[in-house]
Structure 1
Amino acid sequence: MEFQAIILCGPGSDLAPLVSPTLPKALLPIANKPMVYYPLEWCQRAGVSSVIVACSSGVEPMVSQYVTLGYNSTQGSKMKVEVIGLDCETGMIIWNLKDKIKHDFILLPCDFITDLPPQIVVDVHRNQPLHTIGTGLWYKNTLDSIDKKTLKPNLTIHTPSSALHPQLLDIYPPPKGNSQLHVRMSMLWEYPQATISTSLLESFVYVMSRRVLDHEFGDSVAVPSTNAADKNGLLESKDWKKPWTTVIRDISRDSWRRAKESERDTMRFFIVPKEYNFLRCQSISAYFEANRLILKQTPFARPPQTAVAKGAAIGRDSLVGIGTEMEEKTSVKRSIVGADCKFGRECRLSGCVVMDGVIIGDNVQLDNCIIGNGVVIESRVRLAGCTVEGRYIVRSGTQSKNEVLRGYSVEGLLNSSDEDIEEYDEDDDSDDDENINESELEESDGEGISDDDDDLFDRGR
């Protein structure tokens, strides 16, 4: 069975101040490779025929340039990769790509890191019962190093995970305060052993049948009128003009709302096995942990001669980019350093992520820090557990701990948005269930990496 893949690239505002108009989330480096490289590489191992990378129209040229000049030219991949700019809900993105989707497809986020072989996920879907329309991947977070406040687990209702083919039944946000969860009796009559999971996180990895685009929602068929196009030229459909998680929820509910029908579409449910790592880079702490994971898995690569020519000491547990220069008595341990950086004398880096083009003066100490592109750090600076925005200048003698160092502008404050996560359309629910707010239904971060107490990238909590 041939598969296509669709990679969705969100704005990543929860990764501020690392993302910017010139550095979108999809291109944010993890171990000196753009974030979108990892799902592309996962798709290549899965043997998919073609990939569509969907991002906002504002960053489409930058992402396209990387795919053309960066990924395709270096990987030698025969996989066809197309970048498309679409500014709409994720459900509408899929709907507007329907003419390009010729086969069953794999839907992926741009921000996941895993060592789970793609063939396992594909095989699980292939072995599902006949009327399975899709298989979703869920995971549990086991990393204490990821800020738990950034994790937003939903109440995921499913048949027992011990069953041969677990089925997804419903999704709710967690009740607030002492509010009650209202579950439909029609579901409980048919699935009396339904399980409510409070710790599972949505990976946003789905293997879907092509016929999902023809799925009938309730009593209506999701077909737009011939003249239903908005000002951006996007086809409209009330059943698809919503976040993808809402689409999945509605399909799952239809499977038991229409219980008397002999043929009905079902969503299946698969949990990442505990022996594999899975995390999503949806927060600063998760991004930091992703670099840690990749660094552990990367074989030792000899640093460029420019970095060691003057006697700098670079540990075998570190990764240094091309063109980086370091002066004598500089030490780098358990760190990732980007390309074309310049380090002064007697600098000490431990457990840091340093992006491209950073300039560091003499006698600087950095512990468990993330340093953005083009940052200038003057002499005698001491930073611990800090995140520094790209292009920021850290003045000589600065001493900071667990702070975010960034510049602010009136324009930036006026244009700032806190909607990195998708929001549920509260008017799309046709029954009496509680309205769902996807700010709490967001597919969340991090998971599954065994923290072996090696203090690698151990930022203060």
Structure 2
Amino acid sequence: MELQAIVMAAGRGNHMTDLTNSIPKPLLPVGNKPMIYYPVSMLEKAGFQEVIIITLNSIKSSIEHTMKDFKISVTVCGISDDSDFDTVDSLRYVKDLVKSDMLIISCDVITQLPLHRLVDAHRLYDSSVTMLLSPSRPAGEAGPGMKVKKKGQHDQREFIGLCPTEQCYHRVLFLFNEADLEEDSLTVRQSLLCDFPRIQVRDELKDAHVYIVKRWIVDYIAHNTSRSSFRSELLPYIVQKQFDRHHKVEPGSLEKSPESVVGVHDTNLNVKDIFTFIKQDEETNIIRDLTLSSHTRADNPISCFAFIYEDGPLVNANNIASYVEANRLVSKAEYVFPSEQSLIHPSSKLHEKSQAGSDSMIGERTSVDEQSIIKRSVIGKDCQIGSSVRISNCILMDRVKVGNGCNLQGSVIADRAIIEEKCEIADSLIGSNKVVTSSSKLNRESIVESSTMMEFD
């Protein structure tokens, strides 16, 4: 593989802090494996020989331990826990390790996407940035412990302008967030309409946080430190620059008088324009001639393309609702595990008079007493499930204790929580180390540090 793989695992899980307060986001269990297992596994299966993981110093050793069973060579780069790094900041931090074009993926991506389909777009069109899009998850019920949105409330939409190609990939023409629109009107430059008279405007697609990025873009962001966010700052800028006129610069002209060269510098004369970082040599030109880069303007080598993955599920487990969805996804035996591998760990103890459905997972050293039934649920390691317990559509993290006669439905029970006997809990979130006293009845409640109901996000 000619690409370098980079996994972004320094996020703090700001939309799921009731879970990440006790377990760092990359290590949150999804199907009894750390979340970061899934993107790294996908990279390994795609043929990558090595991967760079960017994470926080405090969990660097834990990430390295998690990676020990992979055959892929892993370099874990730690950043200060006090830093406020976004994706672009992280790329600057590892710029000396980046030697080629990059495949950048978030640690919360869980999918069966064949990565070569995204790589094909990058190769076919010599794309500067290739992004992965997928249909947004249909609005359903709120996740455990979350308030249902009031009528009329909705997430801000993102409008993506696309031009399909004959190869089933899409040229990305613009990106607009609903919050940035003036008077609820979408304004498109006339010159863009002249070049692309038929533009698809989509508002039901989500950015999957998987990108292929040219190496020269790292040189640009290393020089220009004004942007931190890849998604909200750098990517829209690059999309826009596709349609700017590129004034070629003769070698040595920047050293003589950079301010006199039109189009070479941004508004700040100390910041080189993005075009000055594009690699142009004989080898690059030969490769470019072999691609379908005719879709780009002759005077502008920058291009952005997208691949829309609609053939299977894709989850970004970046909030509690999507975290639940991710666990349900990987609990399907055919999704992640070989058919001969049991979803019930051999070291667990399931009483002969108890039942666990084929759509459930039970982790190491977990015990389940008699007359208990587990359906469509993921049970973590070292849990103790009492007798006559009913668990349906739930996630129980490690070392959870559930007393006799409990009925749990549609809930997330964080690590080390204790549910005493005869409790009835539905659609609720129980935080780490919390105790639910005997015979409690909870319905769509959140028992966490804040002791408040969470908004659906």
Q: TM-score, normalised by structure 1?
A: 0.77
Pair 179,316 (structure 1): closer, same or farther in 2 beyond 3 Å? closer
Among 59, 63, 69, which residue is 1:67 paired with? 63
Task: Give 1:79's aligned residue.
Answer: 73
Task: Give 1:196's aligned residue.
Answer: 201
> Which amino acid in 1 is paired with 2:25?
K
After TM superposition, the structure 1 = structure 2 runs for residues 414-429 of structure 1, keeping only pairs within 5 Å, are: none
Shift of 1:40: 0.8
Pair 223,350 (structure 1): closer, same or farther in 2 beyond 3 Å? closer
Pair 345,395 (structure 1): closer, same or farther in 2 beyond 3 Å? same
Contact 1:389 1:405 (8 Å CA) reproduced: yes
Distance 1:33 1:203 in 2: 21
Q: Confirm whether residue 53 of structure 1 aligns to residue 53 of structure 2.
A: yes
Distance 2:117 2:141 in 1: 26
Task: Give 2:213's aligned residue.
Answer: 208
Q: Confirm whether residue 269 of structure 1 aligns to residue 306 of structure 2.
A: yes
> Which amino acid in 1 is paired with 2:111?
T
Task: Give 2:274's aligned residue.
Answer: none
Could you tell which deviates more after superposition, 290-299 or 202-211? 290-299
Shift of 1:214: 3.7
Q: Does the residue aligned with 1:7 lie in a helix, a strand or coil?
A: strand
Could you tell which deviates more after superposition, 172-181 or 104-113? 172-181
Among 157, 160, 169, which residue is 2:161 paired with? 157
Could you tell which deviates more after superposition, 312-321 or 384-393? 312-321
Task: Give 2:249's aligned residue.
Answer: none
Task: Give 1:112's aligned residue.
Answer: 109
Stretches of structure 1 lacking an aligned partner (at least 5 in a row): 216-221, 225-236, 419-444, 446-461
Distance 2:18 2:328 in 1: 20
Shift of 1:333: 1.7
Task: Give 1:451's aligned residue.
Answer: none
Q: How many residues align?
A: 385
Among 89, 97, 101, which residue is 1:92 paired with? 89
Contact 2:348 2:362 (8 Å CA) reproduced: no
Q: Does the residue aligned with 2:42 lie in a helix, a strand or coil?
A: helix
> Which amino acid in 2 is paired with 1:99?
D
1:170-227, CA deviations, whole angstroms, 9 ceiling, x for partnerless residues? Answer: 2111157953223233322322223221111111111122122245xxxxxx563xxx
Task: Give 2:401's aligned residue.
Answer: 359
Distance 2:178 2:33 in 1: 36
Pair 346,242 (structure 1): closer, same or farther in 2 beyond 3 Å? closer
Distance 2:388 2:36 in 1: 35
Shift of 1:146: 6.5
Q: Confirm whether residue 323 of structure 1 aligns to residue 328 of structure 2.
A: no
Distance 1:208 1:156 in 2: 19
Pair 328,294 (structure 1): closer, same or farther in 2 beyond 3 Å? same
1:406-441, CA deviations, whole angstroms, 9 ceiling, x for partnerless residues? Answer: 1338xxx9xxx99xxxxxxxxxxxxxxxxxxxxxxx
Distance 2:168 2:386 in 1: 60
Q: TM-score, normalised by structure 2?
A: 0.77
Q: Confirm whether residue 183 of structure 1 aligns to residue 188 of structure 2.
A: yes
Stretches of structure 2 lacking an aligned partner (at least 5 in a row): 143-148, 247-296
Rg larger in structure:
2
Task: Give 2:16's aligned residue.
Answer: 15
> Which amino acid in 1 is paired with 2:17?
A
Contact 2:53 2:74 (8 Å CA) reproduced: no
1:129-182, CA deviations, whole angstroms, 9 ceiling, x for partnerless residues? Answer: x4x212111110244547597865411122236666521122111157953223
Pair 223,113 (structure 1): closer, same or farther in 2 beyond 3 Å? closer
Pair 359,302 (structure 1): closer, same or farther in 2 beyond 3 Å? closer
After TM superposition, the structure 1 = structure 2 runs for residues 279-290 of structure 1, keeping only pairs within 5 Å, are: 279-290=315-326
Distance 1:251 1:305 in 2: 52
Contact 1:89 1:242 (8 Å CA) reproduced: yes
Shift of 1:284: 1.5
> Which amino acid in 1 is paired with 2:177?
P
Identity %: 25
1:219-262, CA deviations, whole angstroms, 9 ceiling, x for partnerless residues? Answer: xxx563xxxxxxxxxxxx33444444421111110111227762
Pair 205,146 (structure 1): closer, same or farther in 2 beyond 3 Å? farther
What is the Cα-based RMSD across aligned positions, in Å?
A: 2.7
Q: Does the residue aligned with 1:92 lie in a helix, a strand or coil?
A: helix
